[in-house]
Structure 1
Amino acid sequence: MTALPPVPPIPEPGRRKSLSFRALSVGFGAVEAVVPRRWPAVDAAAIERSAGVTLTGSAREGLARLTSSMACETRLSLFGRVSVRYDLTRLARNAAMIERMHEQTPAIGVAPVTAPLFIMGLPRSGTSFLHSLLGYDPDVLVPRVWQTLYPAVRPRDFDKTRSLAARKTDRQLAIFAGMAPDFPAIHPIDADSPQECSEITAHVFQSLRFDTTFRVPSYTKWLDDFGHAAAFAFHKRYLQALQHGVGAKFWALKCPDHTFSIPGILATYPDARFVVVHRDPVHVFASVAHMTEVLRKPFLRDIDAAEIGRQVTERWIEGARLLVEFDRSGTVPPHRLLNMQYEELTGDPITAVHRIYHHFGETLSSVAEAGMRTHLAAAPQGGYGRNRYQLSDFGINPERLRPDFAPYMDYFGIKPRSPNSGLPA
C-alpha cells in the first residue's frame, strides 16, 4: 500500500548540486517559527482557488471531508502543509485536465476499458512485484508513476530520458528519498514504474491513499460508508484518456485497497478479472507499519508508532475477512478469478505469470517473457531490501494476531512463515 509522496517539484539546479533535504529542512524549520500555524491554508475553498477549478458532487465532498479531517486529526509541519496544498491542487487540476481531454476528443470516452485485470492481496504480499512484471509486456497497459502526476498517453516507443514529465517525476522521487532514506528499499520505484490505482482515485479525493500518508480516521470512516463507485467511474475516464491511440490487450491494475472497493470496481467494470495473491499476514505487518511511518515522517508531527500498529492490523483484519467473503460470494465466476500463493509467485515468477495468462485466456509473448526475465536477472527480489523492523517496534503481538487471521489462512491454505525474512512485496 504505497502512496505517492506529495512532494512539490524543485526547479532544475543547473550545474549546482541539488538542494539537500537537510538544507531544505533547516530552511522550513526557520520559516515555521515565524509564520502562522495554519499557513498556507489547506481547506477545500483554498484548494479550489489555487487550482482555478470548481469542484462538484462527490469530489467536492471528498475534498471537504479530507481537509476537515486533516485540520482536526493531523498535525502537519510547515513542509507538510506546503506539500499537501501543492498535492491537492495538482490533483484538482489534473482531474479537470482529464475532463477537458474527453471534451476535446469525444472518441476517448467511446473506447471501452475491456476486462481489466485487478491484482489484489494484503499489503506486501507480492502484488507490486507481479504488477512490475506485467509492466514489461508491451501488449499490457499499466498506469505509470509519471502518468499519475502528469496525465498523458505513453506511446509504445516511450523513452524515459526524453520525457520532461518523467524527468520531473524522478526529481520529485529523489527529493523524497533524501527526506526518507528508507523509502527506496521499502518500495523501489522510478518515474516509469507501475503505479497503484489509489493515485488515480485520489484525483476525486476518494482514495485510501490519504489514510496511509496522513492521520485521517474520520475521512477514512466517511469513505468506507460512502463507497467507491463514483471514484471508479472517474478511474475509467482516466484510463480511457491514457489508452487513447495505444493498442493493447488489457489493463493490469494493482492496489491492496481494491480489497475495500470491489463493489465500486464491479459497478464500473462488470467484466473485471481478479488475481489475488495470498501471504501469511503476520509476516508483513512490521513492513506495512514501517512503510506508513516512513511516508508520514516528512510531513507530520507527533507520529505514534503504536497507533500505526493498531491502525494497520485492525484495517487488514477486516481486509482479510473481505477477501474470504469475496471468494465465497461467487460474485465473480471462476474463470475471472485466480488465487495464488506468494511462494508460488516469488519461487518461479515466469511460471506463475504463464499460469495467470493461461487462466484468463491470454498469451504471454516471447517479447514480454524476455523483458520479464531481463528484469528479474537485474533485480531478483524486485529490488526490495530486507525488513529490519520488528512487530514489537509498533506494539504488535504476532501471537495475539494469529486467531484473528486464522479464518483467512485456513480458507486459502496459507502456511505461517517467520516474520523476519524480506522478499518481494
Structure 2
Amino acid sequence: MLLPGPPEVLRFADRLAARSHLFEARLDADQLIERACGDGDWSPHADQRAALRMLVGAVEAEASLSLFGRAALRWDIARFLANTRRLDEEEAACPTIGQTAVERPVFILGLPRSGTSFLHALMAQDPDTMAPRCWQTVYPYKPAARRRDRRIAQVGRQIALFTRIAPDLPSVHPITAETPQECSEITAHTFRSLRFDTTFRVPSYLAWLDAEGHDAAYAFHARFLRHLQRQTEPEPDARWVLKCPDHVFAFEAIRRTYPDARFVFVHRDPWHVLASVARLTEILRAPFTRRIDRLEIGRQVADRWVLGAQRIVAATESAGRDDLPVVHVTHGALVADPWATVCRVYEALGLTMRAPAAARIGAMIQARPDGGYGRNSYHPSTFGLVADRERERFAAYIERFLPGDETMGPPESRIRAA
C-alpha cells in the first residue's frame, strides 16, 4: 500500500523539484564535511566521518528523500558537525572538562510507546534530576558571538514549524523546547544512532549499525553530558535521568561506558506498542520522503521490536547475574497510579525524594494524569499487524514481564497512543 507522504504543499514542492532535476544533485558526505570545516584546521573524527558516509549513502539509495527531507538532512548534518566542533574547542580551552565524572546515571528503557516518556517527564520534575532538554540536545552551547541566549526560543520556533508540517505529531508525541529529550538525539551527533532509522527508510544503515555496535556513540554520549553538566553546576546529590527505548539495543555498551548505571525497564502489551510505533514512524517519516508504505513500516516495526523484546530479556538476565540496580514497572501500573510508580522507582534505586520534588511531581500528575497524550484511533491492520502472529513472536517477553497483567489485545482493537 503506497501513499503519498508529505502534506500537499510539500508534494507540490517535490513535483517542482523533480521537473527542475533537483533530485539529481546527490548529497555528498565529504562536501558537507568540507563545508562544516571551513577555513580552519578542525576536522571531524575518523569514526564520525565514516559513519556519516554510510548514512548519506543509505539515505541516497533507499530513503526517497523529499525536497524538505533533503534540506532538513543537510541542516541536521551541519548542526551535528558544528556542535562537535564546539565541543572540541571547549575541551581545547578547558581540558578538565574530560575529567568531569558522570556518576550513577539512571537509564529509562523498554519497548517504545510504553510510558517511558511519561516516567522520564515525572522524574525530571525533581530539582535533583538532570535531564537533557530538547533545546540542549539541539544546541549544547550558545553561539560565542551572541550576548543573549536565545536557544530555547529558537528551538521552540523550529518545533512549531515542524508541527505545521506534521500536524498529527503533538497528539502522539507532545514535545516542547524544554521537554526532556531522548538520548538518540545525542548519539545522532556521531551519525551512529537509531534516530536515523526512525526518520528515514535506511535498512542498509540499520544493518551496518547493528554490526558496528554502539560503543563509540555512548562514549560521545558521556562526553556530551559532561559538557551540559559543566554549564549547569549541579548540586552534589544531582543525578542524570536519561531515557530512550533504543537503549535496549545498546545495553552492554551503556554498561561499559557507565559501570555504575542504574536502570528502569518499562513494559507494555506489545500489541498496543506496535501499531502506535508504526503510526509514529509514519508521522515522523512523511515530511522527509516521497514514498510511504504502511505495510512495510508495520513489518519493520514488528521485526525490530521482536528483537528489542529479546534484548530486554537478555539485558534483564545480564543485570541479574551481575546484581545491577534495576527496577521493572508496567505501563498499566504507571497510568493507573503514577505517584506510586515513581515512589517505587525511587525506593528501588535508592533515590531520595525531597519535598520540592514531591510537590512538583504531584502537580504534574494532577495536570497531566496520563502524560498529556491525545486519543488516536488507527487500526493495526492498516500496518499489516496480526495479533495471533505477534502474540506468538512476543510470547517469551510477555511470559517474563506481563504474566496475567497485560495481554495481547484482540485483532480488531484500536490503539490509544500513550
> What is the aligned partner in structure 1 of residue 224 from structure 2?
238
Alpha-carbon contact 1:32-1:78 (below 8 Å) kept? no
Alpha-carbon contact 1:279-1:342 (below 8 Å) kept? yes
**Residue of 325, 349, 361 corresponding to 2:350:** 361
Q: In the alignment, residue 168 of structure 1 is paired with which amino acid?
A: Q
**Residue of 21, 44, 59 corresponding to 1:70:** 59
**Residue of 161, 167, 191 corresponding to 1:181:** 167
Alpha-carbon contact 2:132-2:181 (below 8 Å) kept? yes
**How many pairs were matched up?**
395
Matched, 1:91 2:76: no
Moved more, 346-355 or 62-71: 346-355
Mapped partners of 1:331, 1:268: distance in 2: 19
> What is the aligned partner in structure 1 of residue 28 from structure 2?
43
State how 1:275-424 maps to structure 2 within 5 Å.
275-330=264-319, 333-334=322-323, 336-414=325-403, 415-416=406-407, 418=409, 419-422=413-416, 424=418
Alpha-carbon distance change, 22 to 73 in structure 1, aligned in 2, over 3 angstroms: closer
Matched, 1:229 2:209: no
Mapped partners of 1:294, 1:210: distance in 2: 14
* 3-state SS of 1:86 partner: helix
- CA shift, 1:23, in A, is 6.0
- CA shift, 1:50, in A, is 2.5
Moved more, 329-338 or 251-260: 329-338
Alpha-carbon contact 1:289-1:309 (below 8 Å) kept? yes
- CA shift, 1:33, in A, is 2.7
> What is the aligned partner in structure 2 of residue 17 from structure 1?
none
- CA shift, 1:44, in A, is 1.2
Structure 1 unaligned residues grouped into runs of 5+: 1-20, 154-161
- CA shift, 1:200, in A, is 0.4
TM-score (norm 1): 0.89
Alpha-carbon distance change, 135 to 332 in structure 1, aligned in 2, over 3 angstroms: farther
> What is the aligned partner in structure 2 of residue 156 from structure 1?
none
Q: In the alignment, residue 416 of structure 2 is paired with which amino acid?
A: G
Mapped partners of 2:321, 2:361: distance in 1: 29
Mapped partners of 1:308, 1:141: distance in 2: 34
Moved more, 176-185 or 239-248: 239-248
Q: CA RMSD in A?
A: 1.9
> What is the aligned partner in structure 2 of residue 211 from structure 1?
197
- CA shift, 1:78, in A, is 1.3
State how 1:134-283 maps to structure 2 within 5 Å.
134-152=123-141, 163-244=149-230, 245-248=232-235, 249-283=238-272
Between the two proteins, what is the percent identity of the paired residues?
Answer: 44
Q: In the alignment, residue 407 of structure 2 is paired with which amino acid?
A: P
Mapped partners of 1:417, 1:397: distance in 2: 11
Moved more, 368-377 or 227-236: 368-377
Alpha-carbon contact 2:338-2:369 (below 8 Å) kept? no
Structure 2 unaligned residues grouped into runs of 5+: 1-6, 143-147
State how 1:4-153 maps to structure 2 within 5 Å.
26=12, 29-39=15-25, 41-52=26-37, 54-152=43-141
- CA shift, 1:106, in A, is 2.1
Mapped partners of 2:20, 2:256: distance in 1: 50
Q: In the alignment, residue 188 of structure 1 is paired with which amino acid?
A: P
Alpha-carbon distance change, 352 to 152 in structure 1, aligned in 2, over 3 angstroms: farther
Moved more, 335-344 or 251-260: 335-344
- CA shift, 1:163, in A, is 4.9
Alpha-carbon distance change, 316 to 368 in structure 1, aligned in 2, over 3 angstroms: same
Alpha-carbon contact 1:146-1:165 (below 8 Å) kept? yes
Mapped partners of 1:332, 1:107: distance in 2: 36
* 3-state SS of 1:277 partner: strand
Alpha-carbon distance change, 37 to 257 in structure 1, aligned in 2, over 3 angstroms: same
Alpha-carbon distance change, 174 to 238 in structure 1, aligned in 2, over 3 angstroms: same
Alpha-carbon contact 1:335-1:360 (below 8 Å) kept? no
- CA shift, 1:36, in A, is 2.7
Mapped partners of 1:335, 1:55: distance in 2: 36
Mapped partners of 1:163, 1:332: distance in 2: 47
- CA shift, 1:152, in A, is 3.4
Task: Note the alpha carbon deviations across 1:116-140, whole angstroms, 9 max, x for none.
Answer: 1000110100000001111111111
- CA shift, 1:423, in A, is 5.6
Alpha-carbon contact 1:201-1:235 (below 8 Å) kept? yes
Moved more, 338-347 or 307-316: 338-347
Task: Note the alpha carbon deviations across 1:328-349, whole angstroms, 9 max, x for none.
Answer: 2346744511111111112111
Task: Note the alpha carbon deviations across 1:287-323, whole angstroms, 9 max, x for none.
Answer: 1001001011111011111000000000000110111
Alpha-carbon distance change, 38 to 46 in structure 1, aligned in 2, over 3 angstroms: farther
